[in-house]
């Protein structure tokens, strides 16, 4: 988990607890959307 956060320049020790949770929720949702968009693009190319 730490490596994923570090790749996205998120360091838990430097964030207040509520901001940490909110950023993680937004990051997970954005990553899920990117995966869906990417898979749609791949299907269109095939």
Provide the pLDDT for residue 8: 85
Provide the pLDDT for residue 34: 86
Provide the pLDDT for residue 46: 59
Residue 28 CA to residue 23 CA, distance in Å, equals 9
Please tell me the pTM assigned to this model: 0.45
Each residue's pLDDT tens digit, 1-46: 888 888 888 888 887 777 678 888 999 999 988 887 777 666 666 5
DSSP3 helix / strand / coil % (the chain, rounded to 5): 85, 0, 15
Provide the pLDDT for residue 41: 66
Provide the pLDDT for residue 26: 92
């Amino acid at each position: 988990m730490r490596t994923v956060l570090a790749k996205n320049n998120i360091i838990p020790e430097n964030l207040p607890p509520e901001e940490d949770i909110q950023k993680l929720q937004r990051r997970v949702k954005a990553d899920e959307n990117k995966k869906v968009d990417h898979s749609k693009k791949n299907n269109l190319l095939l």
